[in-house]
Amino acid sequence: MIHKLTIPLYHEEICPRFDLAPEVLFLLITKGNVIEEKRTIALPRPSADDLCHMLLSEKINTLICGAIEDEYFQFLKWKKIKIYDSVCGNWSKAFHLWSKKKLTSGAILSRRMVEGKYV
């Protein structure tokens, strides 16, 4: 089975906001969660509408993103796209967790200090 996954990016990190992504990563995943194709597209301007149109035209199955407005979340969900939202951190860590079926919405994948200790 072929799976198409998209991650809005800011450098190597998941863009904090879906509607402000300067570039988008497209991954074509084959059996065994092997990345068959990887391409990054720089967007001419940040636009949630344009990004939604791009996801539909590329027939994307899964979106991993940061914050997303409810209007776009509901629209993409209605279009049968699986969404992991409010995820922050490096895109490759998110993909690794997704491939192991361990990614959840709201996942914080960056090291951060909590009560004086890095977690």
Residue 116: pLDDT over 80 = no
* Domain boundaries of the chain, sorted by first residue: 3-118
The domain over range 3-118 is classified in CATH as 3.30.420.130: yes
pLDDT tens digits, 88-112: 999 999 999 999 999 999 999 987 6
Enter the tokens of residue 63: 């979106």
pLDDT band at 81 (very low <50, low <70, confident <90, very high): very high
Residues in the chain, overall count: 119
pTM, two decimal places: 0.91
Provide the pLDDT for residue 78: 97
- E strand or H helix at 99: helix 91-99
Rounded Cα gap, residues 30 and 41, in angstroms: 21
Return the pLDDT at 115. 78
The torsion angle over the Cα atoms of residues 27, 58, 101 and 72, rounded to 10 degrees, is 120
